[in-house]
Amino acid sequence: MVTKEMTIAQVLEEVPDCAPVFMEYGMHCLGCAIAHGETIEQAAEVHGIELSALLDSLNELCKKA
């Protein structure tokens, strides 16, 4: 399960297929240094994304993986 406290890098390590979800939400810097230290919650705030919608999308994909 993806939580708001996880970093983008953690999510991608656990479920590499999540990359397209991040891209859909405008998070294109998946390999940059910030992705290793920024939580999902922080990234959503910076990108002006509704956190619950992003988490729902990521967790829906995780269920399928």
pLDDT digits (tens, 9 = 90+) for 10-61: 998 988 888 899 999 988 777 777 778 889 999 999 999 999 999 999 999 8
> What's the CA angle centered on 9, arms 20 and 36, to 5 degrees?
130
For residue 22, being part of any structural domain is answered with yes
Q: Which domain holds residue 57?
A: 8-64
pTM: predicted TM-score of the whole model, two decimal places: 0.85
Q: How many domains does the chain have?
A: 1
Is residue 38 one of the residues assigned to a domain?
yes
Residue 27 lies in a domain: yes
Q: How far apart are CA 63 and CA 61, in angstroms?
A: 5
Q: Is 1 domain-assigned? A: no
Residue 3 resides in a domain: no
d(CA 13, CA 36): 11
Q: Which has more pLDDT, 38 or 65?
A: 38
Query: Within a domain: residue 54?
Result: yes
Contacts of 22 (CB under 8 A, 6+ apart): 8, 12, 28, 30
Instruction: Assess if residue 57 is contained within a domain.
Output: yes
The pLDDT assigned to 31 comes to: 75
